[in-house]
Structure 1
Amino acid sequence: MSSPYHPQFAPAGDVGTAIMMIDSRLKGIHGGKPKHDPQQQQLIEQFTASLDRKGAKDLLDGVCTLIFMFMTWLRKAHEEHDKDVIEYVVPNLVATLRMMPRNIRPETIPTMAGLVIAAGTGLSPTLWRKQYGDWTEEEMTSLEATAFLVAEHINRIADNPDFATRLITDALSRSDER
């Protein structure tokens, strides 16, 4: 029986913009820039402020699609070693989010854990989250951090700081060829 939260029923959103934002954050960490580049942060804030309601929704859906794609890759990688992706990803994610109390509100952490668990079990993060109502402003930073941390986890597993980004851009290129 198919779940109403199956990804086939979910909008993909603006995956291209979402991966550009996450890639920018990853490069900020690995590219020799300061960990908090105020100029980069200002550009991202200006861009997101310029989005209309539909653009913002598309970006949110795109970030959720990224998380789903990342967790799908992680699930397959862990299954090859007879390991459970939830067991290896979620505790690290939660612990890392808890270490960021200035930016990540504690009440958003269970939602982010649930979102990653949903994606790790093959459900659409967008549809899973939708059952609890609209996104809140407090969840935006946590959502971006979650996508970043899952991408960084992939990069560490692959021992390549660009692997997660390339995973998505390759998938986008293949979908454009169809």
Structure 2
Amino acid sequence: MEIKTERLKLRSVEKIDLENIHSLLMYPESALFNPSGFPDGIAHTAQMVEAWSAQIHESDVRKDYTFYIETLEGKEFIGLINISVVKLRYRNAEVWFKLVPTMWNKGYATEALNRILTFGFKELNFHRIEGGCAVENIASAKVMEKVGMVKEARRRKILPLEDGWSDNYEFAILEEEYPL
């Protein structure tokens, strides 16, 4: 599966992406606000890549879409973005994204997230899409606000981060709030 923006291509994860994805997951800046921390070696990352690449072959109702983000020009690796079903009956989904630190502050996260929201509302027919981030993760909070997501809550000490428990901001956007 592949979807495009003005500058980016979001495509299904493939096994050949292992090294780039492992490098992304090993950046200290990327792991700072990630409750999963660092992978336990490349074999652990390979298991994640295997699961993500298998998503496109699921015969049942697909519940998870993880995309490898690269530039259209030059095919430079940007990061990962995901949209997954939270509650199918309620048409709720959740998004997350993780970018290579050298790709931060270039508008790529906003561009990719905007496209994923369009995909979620228009093609997957979601009613509500949610996202969250540690309260200290100001950059991710700004990205979600830029695409129109509304900060709805602050959940106390819910994220087990490397330096202790962190509060989490919860964001959401409804299909009627998102301009298609």
TM over 0.5: no
TM-score (norm 2): 0.28
Q: Which structure has more helix as a fraction of its residues?
A: 1
TM-score (norm 1): 0.28
Q: Which structure has more strand as a fraction of its residues?
A: 2
Larger RCO: Structure 1 or Structure 2 (Cα < 8 Å, ≥ 6 residues apart)? 1
